[in-house]
Amino acid sequence: MGEPTDEEVVETAADAAEGVVFERYKQSEVTDLDVTVTFEDGVLEVDVYLNAPSDTRDPEQVADDAALTARSAVDDLFE
């Protein structure tokens, strides 16, 4: 199997990030979610913006975890 395409990398990262958010919050609790993924010249950038209630979880931490999980999922693609 060859290298994944740029599109596969972006989709994998975005899906992984969204998966983390929706593991921790019900979809109805999330007011706004923006996952931006770019992959150019072998450089992956993942930015997650999350607007969700902070009474049970820290949304910033969830967003950070989502971005880290996205990067890890892409690393797995290249193994």
Residue 40, pLDDT above cutoff 80: yes
* Number of domain units in the chain: 1
Query: Does a structural domain hold residue 72?
Result: yes
Give the pLDDT confidence score for residue 56 in this predicted structure. 83
Q: What is the dihedral of CA 42, 21, 66, 49, to 10 degrees?
A: 80
How buried is 56 (Cβ within 10 angstroms: 0-12 exposed, 13-18 middle, 19+ buried)? exposed
Q: pTM for this structure? A: 0.93
Per-residue pLDDT band at 37 (split at 50, 70, 90):
very high
Q: What is the domain range of residue 65?
A: 6-77
CA distance 6 to 15: 14
> Tokens in use for 7?
């599109």
Q: How far apart are CA 8 and CA 55, in angstroms?
A: 35
Q: Residue 55: inside a domain, yes or no?
A: yes
Cβ(16)–Cβ(73) below 8 Å: yes
Residue 67 located in a structural domain? yes
